Structure 1
Amino acid sequence: MRLVYPPICAGCGIMTGDHAALCAVCWQSVRFIERPYCEITGAPFDHDRGEGLVSPEAIARPPAYGKARAAVFYDGVARKIAQGLKYSDRADLAEMMAAWMVRAGRDVIDDSDVIIAVPLHRRRLFSRHYNQSAELARAVARLSGKRFLPAGLHRVRATERQVGLGLRARQDNVRGAFRTPETQKARLFGVRILLVDDVLTTGATVEAATRALKRGGAGEVNVLTFARVARSGEETLYA
């Protein structure tokens, strides 16, 4: 199989020692998110403001979720990897991406009982063949030993793409788009949930999903994504 499908760098395509890996040059270009950052939203600070500090945005507009964490900034090689998983049928990348997520989100993983992915609407799922967030959630669950609930949340309304929309428009777009199935409510009642998505932009999608889970009886909901944009509202291809 290695003769037919030799391992190549997920970033630039040169030969590497393993599949779904990065060469040294691409690895050095990835911007991993490290402290200091807001303990609630995970938004990085430009300088160290002290342990446990919360951003003014999180104080003024507390999110529905408890904490959010992300592994990398959504740019360069990391952006290419995220788009490869989402649009190019590169499901093989999920394991590598999930390993980075587990490293970045150990605190929210430890505080969770089960893992749930942000779902796709069935029409979009049919066109893409799989849900990239579910692939990440499944891999995170496998690496962390947590339970993955693939049916814990449904997307009951097809939404428009979020590209070009401001925060308020994004919020309106996903309002009422998610619902906890009646058959899952007893299983989720009071449970601490880790909600997994691929990219965090403004947070509108994970906020809507969090509210749906809490209406369904879930306890605390934390968020873990592979990447986040450097600035809130920065344009991406992601819904």
Structure 2
Amino acid sequence: MPADGLLCVSCFVETSFITDPVCGQCGLPLAEPAPLCTSCDWAPPTFRSARAALQYNAAAKRLILPFKYADRPELAIGLARLLLRPGKELLARADLLVPVPLHRSRLAHRGYNQAGLLARALGRISGTKVMIDALVRLRATRPLSELDQTGRELALKGAIGIREGREAHIAGRTILLVDDVLTTGATASACADTLYAAGAAAVDVLAIARVAEAEDI
């Protein structure tokens, strides 16, 4: 993907961009217009609303997985540009961009936090302030792709914290949480819980891709 975020013709045809109707809270694509999807109606996530650019299919994987796992940090700029359309309203009301954190062991192995690079690139493009280290992973968790929704929530309980000294920058602010892929929303909700506990006024979520059903990412 080039830095301008434009896709070649064949990639564009294969890519599924998310458009309305979507769930008003988690951003899940819906077959028919409705305020909320069934999951959010029964058990809403703790973040206010989420949006994503793409449905997580084979074409989206070809864009995201090299960025995430194949040491291609330069892809952050092009991927961030894909977030401008779905994130227009969220960016307009955001005071601060905050990336979903990686545990230090995974960060050491990968060499960078892809959500952090994405947030930085999006901040430069949109002019929104970024706090790259607002959140911290307090402990490592097993791969969430192995777990169902309840298992993910249990694994993440107490795993996300606020970096010392960052509370004053969070209090009273509208936070836009940035990540590469939104699956069940468990990680985003855990981050939102931590940000609300630090005094955030509201927490929204913006991701490159949205998974319709839990799968290995």
Task: Report the TM-score when normalising by structure 1.
Answer: 0.86
How many pairs align? 217
Which residue of the other structure, out of 23, 29, 32, is the alignment partner of 1:44?
Answer: 29
User: What's the % identity of the aligned pairs?
Assistant: 38
1:225 is aligned to 207
SS at structure 1 position matched to 2:144: coil
- Between 1:53-62 and 1:68-77, the stretch displaced more is 53-62
Which residue of the other structure, out of 136, 142, 161, is the alignment partner of 1:160?
Answer: 142
Return 5+ residue gaps in structure 2 as ranges. Answer: none
1:90 is aligned to 72
1:63–1:78: structure 2 CA closer, same or farther, 3 Å change rule? same
2:131 maps to 1:146: no
Contact conserved, 2:3 with 2:78, CA < 8 A, in 1? no
Letter in 1 for 2:107: L
SS at structure 2 position matched to 1:227: strand
1:75 is aligned to 57
Name the larger-Rg structure: 1
Q: CA deviation at 1:164?
A: 2.2
Cα distance in 2 between the residues matched to 1:18 and 1:121: 28
2:154 maps to 1:169: no
What are the Cα deviations for residues 1-46 of structure 1, in whole angstroms up to 9, with x where unaligned?
xxxxxxxxx4xxxxxx878753211111100000111111111111
Q: CA RMSD in A?
A: 1.6
Cα distance in 1 between the residues matched to 2:169 and 2:112: 25
Which of the pair has the greater relative contact order for Cα pairs under 8 Å at 6+ separation? 2
1:7 is aligned to none
2:98 maps to 1:113: no
What are the Cα deviations for residues 124-161 of structure 1, in whole angstroms up to 9, with x where unaligned?
10100000011111111111110000121111111111
Return 5+ residue gaps in structure 1 as ranges. Answer: 1-9, 11-16
Cα distance in 2 between the residues matched to 1:167 and 1:201: 10
2:173 maps to 1:188: no
Contact conserved, 2:5 with 2:82, CA < 8 A, in 1? no
Q: 1:183-222 to 2 correspondence within 5 Å?
A: 183-222=165-204
1:188–1:20: structure 2 CA closer, same or farther, 3 Å change rule? closer
Task: Report the TM-score when normalising by structure 2.
Answer: 0.95
